[in-house]
Structure 1
Amino acid sequence: MLKLPSLDRLISEFDTVLRTLAASAQSVRPHPDAAVADIEMSTAQKQHAAGLMRVNHCGEVCAQALYQGQALTARDPATRDALREAAHEEVEHLAWTEARITDLGGHKSLLNPLWYAGSLAIGVTAGVIGDKWNLGFLAETERQVAAHLQSHLRELPEQDAKSRAIVAQMHIDETHHAEKAEELGAAPLPFPIVKAMKISSIVMTSLSYRL
């Protein structure tokens, strides 16, 4: 039976929402681009790179909400721990992408609150269905994110080594999260759900690149 969260936990979860959407994230690890030289780029190149990094930041906002919802309704402690570990690294990704967006003269997505709310609802639903599906959703999400990051490594301007360093480390982390979920018994998701996730991702990335 699903155990309802305590009032203290609900307050803590609400604090997570506020920190994700309204506060600057902090990174325990050094930023991957800290030792990388910032090479001059044209205005168009900076705008494009900022748009791509805004998409990545938005994706990390969604990840925080997904994992928060999934951990809130997960039954098995090992599943909750895996979700919290992934969420912890996603906070660092938030810090890295936010700092790079600022360096490039861009801004975070204006639609972040909307994406957060939708992702939180999806995460809660995934957790209620059952832990093996919860882990399956985590694994598929990370696989899709990893593929998405690979595409950004191809799209970023060649001289933007700083953004590339950030995206490359994010790709390593996301791949690890997917592998961890599979080790814990993630169930493969039905094709219609995988397809729906990809369509939702296309909508999110298209809008957040501009807004």
Structure 2
Amino acid sequence: MFSDQVIANIDNALRTLTGQQIGSDRPYPARDVPDALLRPWERQRAGRMMRVNHAGEIMAQALYTGQATGTNDPALREQLQQARVEEEDHLRWCEARLRELNSRPSLLAPLWYSAGWSMGFLAARRGRASNLGLVVAVENQVEEHLNSHLDELPADDERSRAIVAQMRDDEVGHAEKAEALGAEKLPMPVRMAMGVFSKVLTRGALWI
């Protein structure tokens, strides 16, 4: 029912933006990794980078929720919802690391959520192949971004790296699954626009 979908979407938005996500309760990837990051300026740098990752996971939550809402394919909706649950794990892990680093989430989180949901819903309305194509395009971008963070995090921050590495592996899995299900390559203008927005999100979340 339409009303059930509206309630589910509002519930997910509120849980995401207030840090009440549930996820699959997978263990924290950094649980056994010592926190050797002692220099205040390095902790500040790591905190900003993890804030960018957290903002990306806010958008991922919204993206998958919008895609699941917009599709008429029950099997695809189930796949998208499963991916969304894994992204909730990522969000929970990023929040935990932000607390450890005495940092905070981006103040622009509602903007990231609104943009992600709209993008996901519109892609879903264009059909199954386009819906899956968005998953591939986004996850490929995220994989590239997380790989750069693995290189750019402070040398001693193995704790953040453990989180980012697990997130990267999950994103690769999401893209591979979407390709296997019949994703189509998105038009070049769409991919270019996504690249521009990715840069806006990265710069905005880094400082705000």
- Which TM-score tier does this pair reach, normalised by the shorter chain? over 0.9
- Whichever residue aligns with residue 13 of structure 1, its letter is N
- Contact 1:82–1:181 under 8 Å retained in 2: no
- Contact 2:37–2:43 under 8 Å retained in 1: no
Partner of residue 50 from structure 2, selected from 50, 53, 69: 53
Q: Does 1:66 align with 2:63?
A: yes
Counterpart CA distance in 2 for 1:56 and 1:202 is 13
Partner of residue 208 from structure 1, selected from 195, 199, 205: 205
Deviations 1:26-70 (A, max 9, x none): 451110000001113211101110000000000000001111111
**CA drift at 1:131:** 1.0
1:194 corresponds to which residue?
A: 191
Percentage of matched positions with identical amino acids: 46
What RMSD in Å do the two structures reach over aligned CA positions? 1.0
Counterpart CA distance in 1 for 2:22 and 2:114 is 22
Counterpart CA distance in 1 for 2:179 and 2:75 is 13
- Whichever residue aligns with residue 54 of structure 2, its letter is H
**CA drift at 1:207:** 0.8
TM-score by length of 2: 0.97
**CA drift at 1:8:** 1.9
Counterpart CA distance in 1 for 2:147 and 2:158 is 14
Partner of residue 169 from structure 1, selected from 159, 166, 170: 166
Counterpart CA distance in 1 for 2:22 and 2:96 is 10
**CA drift at 1:118:** 1.4
Partner of residue 116 from structure 1, selected from 110, 113, 117: 113
Q: Does 1:9 align with 2:5?
A: yes
Partner of residue 21 from structure 2, selected from 21, 25, 29: 25
Counterpart CA distance in 1 for 2:191 and 2:95 is 28
1:77 corresponds to which residue?
A: 74
Q: Does 1:87 align with 2:115?
A: no
Partner of residue 152 from structure 1, selected from 145, 149, 152: 149
- Whichever residue aligns with residue 121 of structure 1, its letter is S
Counterpart CA distance in 2 for 1:79 and 1:138 is 12
- Contact 2:55–2:106 under 8 Å retained in 1: yes
Please identify runs of 4+ aligned residues in structure 1 that moved more than 6 A.
none
Counterpart CA distance in 2 for 1:15 and 1:70 is 16
- Contact 2:129–2:182 under 8 Å retained in 1: yes
> Mean Cα displacement is larger for which, 130-139 or 20-29?
20-29
Gaps of 5+ in 1: none
Could you say what secondary structure the match of 1:150 adopts?
helix
Deviations 1:140-167 (A, max 9, x none): 1001101100000011011101000000
**CA drift at 1:137:** 0.4
Partner of residue 129 from structure 1, selected from 126, 129, 150: 126
- Contact 1:96–1:166 under 8 Å retained in 2: yes
Counterpart CA distance in 1 for 2:4 and 2:70 is 15
